[in-house]
Structure 1
Amino acid sequence: MEAFREIFWNIAFGSLVLYTLGAAALGIFIYAIYRRFRLWAVGKPDKRWDNPGKRIWDFIVVGIVDGLFHRRFFREPYPGIIHFLIFAGAGVLLVGTALDVIDHYVFHFISGNVYLGLSFVLDMGGVMMLVGVVMAVIRRYIQKPERLNTVLDNAVVLTLIFVVVITGFFIEGFRMLIATPEGLSQPEFYSHPEWARWSFVGYFIASFFAGLPESARLAWYIGLWWFHAALALGAIFYVCLSFDKLTHIIVSPVNVFFKSSRPKGALTPINIEEAETFGVSKIEDFTWKQLLDLDACTDCGRCQDRCPAYLTGKPLSPRKVIQDLKTHLLDRSSALLVAKVATPTDGGGVKSLIGEVILEDELWSCTTCRACQEICPVFVEHIDKIVDMRRNLVLEQAKLPETGEAVLRCIETRGHSCRGTTLTRTDWTSGLDIKLMSDDSNVELLYYVGCAAALEDRSMKVAVAMGKVLKAAGVKFAILGPEETCCGEPARRLGNEYLFQMQAMKNIELFRNYNIKRIVTTCPHCFNT
């Protein structure tokens, strides 16, 4: 006789109740996603459907490398292992449940060695989840790293996962002690212990209760089965109705699919001529993708640990910025869903996005280095949000720090961002015999030096080294010299998109005049212009 088990053994109306409540849970889930979709749709348009073929391929690659193999998670071993154990364990149990449904309703194939092997794998999946939950509890409630923002929902989620898995194991153990499906005269634990041992956790639990009377074993089995079912479905209801952290299972992959396809460091431009307002001053001024980011964020704090501003005591935490924006979005959700846009009547009790929800000091502390985005496992885009709020401060409210104002003034009046310098753009070329485009424009490429490399003592070494490398390689190149002006990217990151575009147009015109086709630069700001 081959090993097997019977689903819903001795559970009256089990399948009817379970699938009815399951359908209800599915309905609630669809409604929760729909309501959230409406909230995201309040945001401004954002063209994220570009190049669908490449986007799908990138999603598949990221899904395999960062999803299945956890590349980004394992950059930090302990939390990476936690997430992998819970993720992989849940995946195993989900696949096992799907196979059970196919076996029960489509065609029977789970028997014999297949059944025994699947029993072992499913128990391993459950153990992985339990170990992951225990490690998560130790990290969150004993180690307590500064970056973790522990709230009640974290305890609820971890408790639900732990209890659902534990009760599943207890049901497995009592099934071995009481279930006698057709073909078995005695329960599996007594008649075929060689089968039962493959479900090693259930077998271990069963061994403690083997001496109970049959009526007690049956009562425990039925009671635990209904409790487990109710708890699992209740967990789904809770997750859907509260849209809690576990919804990142759905939202984060969507966010990854719509991640930016722009080059790293590139910022979103503003159409100065057509824009009615500049930057973001209200939560609904963000794009739908930026609002989606807020729900995709898992509040893991990796960005905070990598932020140089936070690490040097500045009042900026990328994690807190995203979470504060999310809280504000939820506080405004009812009004936004009813009116689609903010109305004058709801302004009295609404917090100001800039100044109350997000402090100005937080915005000006950001160096826009992208360390937060590089480490984020779900590709949340922090920088665009911060720059958009800066744009509103600078272009709409004329507010910026004194140091930032001095840099902008220097770019406007002197064509570079290095205020106070007495150097010229050609001083670094002394003794190198480097051509100027004005003297000979018949060259292979333009070396666009940038402000820092030309005008700061320490950075001039970079320009000198690059010039020597190009000459040693036999590259025919030239520089603009006195004609070179700032790329404008520092102004853009400070929020002055207008000044950036003015500088960009000057440079484009200059490049056209010299018929420049190829440009090389050592400055990251120039590169990202």
Structure 2
Amino acid sequence: MNFPQNRAFEWVSQNLQPFVLGVLVLLATARFLYVLWPKWRIFRQVPGEDRFKYPLKRLGHTFRIAFLQAKMFKEAKAGWMHALIFWGFLIFLLRAAWFFFIGFFPAVELDGGGLETLYFFFKDSFIVLVTLAAIYALYRRTVERPERLTLSLEGIVILVLILAIMMSDALFDAGWQARNPQASMSGAWLGSLIAPMLSVFEVTAIIHLHNMAYWMHVICTLYFMTLLPGSKHFHIVTSIPNVFFSNGFEGGNQLHRIDFENEELENYGVSKIEEFSWKKLLDLHTCTECGRCDVACPALASGKPLSPKQLTVDLRDHLNNETPHLLDNDPQRSDGPLLLGGIINDETIWSCTTCGACEEECPVMIEYVNKVVDLRRGLVLMENRYPAEFANAFKSLETQSNPWGFGSNTRADWAQELDIKTWDKNNPTEYLYFVGCNGSFDDRGKKIATAVVHSLKSAGVAFSILGNDEGCTGDPARRAGNEYLFDMLASKNAELFKEKSVMKIVTHCPHCFNSLKNEYAEFGVELDVIHH
């Protein structure tokens, strides 16, 4: 079965149509690439980051998060709205390609082998679904106006363009069937439904409507494309790659060790926007400004000056503003705005609890914690600027291996009456119970540690503790931006684990759990860490 020859040649003749369409495509593509090219150049010159490991896991993760929209449905109405528009977008990619194909090759016929009937059915069904979703999206932005959303004229324009593309698609089929009642367009049920309604118009009007639908569809599609790289809707291009390159299927916050022995390193952490890796910059361009991160953020809920969404938007806007200067290779430029203490206030950076709730909510897998820690590293290691109360904590971690200044020789005092074995390399137990600073020194933490000991004994688990040999994992120092201190503490612990042949660890502290399980591999120890 051949595709019906649904063509529109009255406004632009068949011979001239490929040239007119070619000019429009050339202009739109040139505009798209003109805005995109500087961003691509920046990606190529900023620090690299290995995000290509585990390609099959990444593909599976991308299919679940990006294509199935798995994280969208935590809010049912908004989730279905976005998912329907996204799925419709995928279906209409083929339809858009068809519109351009028949414009460039108006006389060519293709045999769909019957598949066109099935495609037209799904295509028309999604025209209805996407139209309803876009209307609801307009209603949310103009009437409901949720506080978490960034409301802008740009968002309205995009939704109007989507509606125009949907209506022009349906009208193109309907106009052809109204002009050619004898023509069969199997599966195009929406066009067949609308075509009789057009009979109230004169033939000339129907011809103009048919031609208008074609060119309206083409022009709206091209205009939509030109808007993407220069707006927040660039996430339509970047979101799927961003999900693919994310490490959401792995644990931890992707905080990596700094090689302090590398004499070529001039900066530790981030104090300039160009010091972020390409993946972190891709995050910035991927933000949809949906505000889900803000709703989940405990710092924002408690009144602190931190909005994860605004932090991302401010960094993105700063990146866009600095891009021309970065491409000019002007290292002596001194009149630009400061990133630390300027674009991003110190108080904003220190307000983050690094809990990762924002990352859990983000539907496009933006990573926030590693950027905050990078900025803190810049403040602490490069500018020696941090809250005054950190000074004593850093000193205590360095000298006593806990942030409160308790003597390291009292670390095991909590366990004196509990008859717990101390780890013996020559006669090791199956598990090491890593107590952590909280369980060793804090009064409430000691109760938790005692309860864990009773539970392990009741379960018949063979375990020991390190006693006074145990030290802080260094997590408080790392989260506070003092990577050098973390490196020192983690290196010492890693050597101790290797010396004592520790392989399996139980811990009740979530901070110790994360650090030992997800961050100590870079220090040469592979630990099987279990949370109680």
* TM-score, normalisation: structure 1: 0.87
Say which is worse superposed, 280-289 or 419-428, in terms of deviation.
419-428
Query: Which position in structure 2 is the counterpart of 1:237?
Result: 226
Percent identical residues: 34
SS in 1 for 2:200: coil
SS in 2 for 1:60: helix
Distance 1:72 1:286 in 2: 26
Q: Which amino acid aligns with 1:5?
A: P
Aligned residues: 505
Determine which of 387, 390, 393 is the counterpart of 2:373: 387
1:32-431 map, 5 Å: 32-49=35-52, 51=53, 54=54, 56-98=55-97, 108-110=110-112, 114-178=115-179, 187-188=180-181, 191=182, 199-240=188-229, 242=230, 244-260=231-247, 263-274=251-262, 275-339=265-329, 342-344=330-332, 346-348=333-335, 350-418=336-404, 424-431=410-417
Distance 1:196 1:398 in 2: 71
Say which is worse superposed, 195-204 or 280-289, in terms of deviation.
195-204
Query: Which position in structure 2 is the counterpart of 1:184?
Result: none
SS in 1 for 2:56: helix
Aligned partners of 2:148 and 2:291 also within 8 Å: yes
User: Per-residue deviation at 1:132?
Assistant: 1.3
Aligned partners of 1:423 and 1:455 also within 8 Å: no
User: Per-residue deviation at 1:404?
Assistant: 2.8
Aligned partners of 2:425 and 2:501 also within 8 Å: no
- The 3 A distance-change label for structure 1 pair 441 and 105 is farther
Distance 2:292 2:280 in 1: 19
Aligned partners of 2:7 and 2:106 also within 8 Å: no
- The 3 A distance-change label for structure 1 pair 420 and 309 is farther
SS in 2 for 1:458: helix
Say which is worse superposed, 123-132 or 471-480, in terms of deviation.
471-480
Which runs of 5 or more residues in structure 1 are unaligned?
179-186
Determine which of 3, 21, 25 is the counterpart of 2:24: 21
User: Per-residue deviation at 1:392?
Assistant: 1.5
Say which is worse superposed, 86-95 or 7-16, in terms of deviation.
7-16
SS in 2 for 1:63: helix
Say which is worse superposed, 416-425 or 514-523, in terms of deviation.
416-425
Say which is worse superposed, 496-505 or 472-481, in terms of deviation.
472-481
- The 3 A distance-change label for structure 1 pair 123 and 319 is same
User: Per-residue deviation at 1:479?
Assistant: 0.9
Distance 2:497 2:186 in 1: 76
C-alpha root-mean-square deviation of aligned residues, in Å?
2.9
User: Per-residue deviation at 1:334?
Assistant: 0.5
Distance 2:408 2:46 in 1: 47
Query: Which position in structure 2 is the counterpart of 1:7?
Result: 6
Distance 1:378 1:393 in 2: 28
Superimposed CA distance per residue, residues 213-269 of structure 1 (whole angstroms, 9 cap, x where no aligned partner): 2222222322343233222222222334x2x23332321222222223763245122
Superimposed CA distance per residue, residues 178-212 of structure 1 (whole angstroms, 9 cap, x where no aligned partner): 2xxxxxxxx22xx46xx579544434443333122
SS in 1 for 2:171: helix
Distance 1:368 1:3 in 2: 59
Aligned partners of 2:2 and 2:109 also within 8 Å: no
- The 3 A distance-change label for structure 1 pair 198 and 439 is closer
User: Per-residue deviation at 1:72?
Assistant: 0.7
Which runs of 5 or more residues in structure 2 are unaligned?
516-532
Aligned partners of 1:197 and 1:203 also within 8 Å: no
Distance 2:506 2:108 in 1: 62
User: Per-residue deviation at 1:174?
Assistant: 2.0
SS in 1 for 2:167: helix
Superimposed CA distance per residue, residues 84-116 of structure 1 (whole angstroms, 9 cap, x where no aligned partner): 1101122222234557859989873348x7555
Superimposed CA distance per residue, residues 296-342 of structure 1 (whole angstroms, 9 cap, x where no aligned partner): 22222111111111111111011111110000011111111121xx5
User: Per-residue deviation at 1:362?
Assistant: 0.7
Say which is worse superposed, 245-254 or 386-395, in terms of deviation.
245-254
Aligned partners of 2:400 and 2:407 also within 8 Å: no
Aligned partners of 2:293 and 2:309 also within 8 Å: yes
Query: Which position in structure 1 is the counterpart of 2:484?
Result: 498
Distance 1:425 1:139 in 2: 56
Aligned partners of 1:449 and 1:479 also within 8 Å: yes
User: Per-residue deviation at 1:498?
Assistant: 1.2
User: Per-residue deviation at 1:360?
Assistant: 0.6
Aligned partners of 1:8 and 1:14 also within 8 Å: no
Say which is worse superposed, 435-444 or 168-177, in terms of deviation.
435-444
Indicate whether 1:469 and 2:455 are aligned.
yes
Distance 2:80 2:242 in 1: 23
SS in 2 for 1:528: helix
User: Per-residue deviation at 1:420?
Assistant: 7.3
Q: Which amino acid aligns with 2:171?
A: F
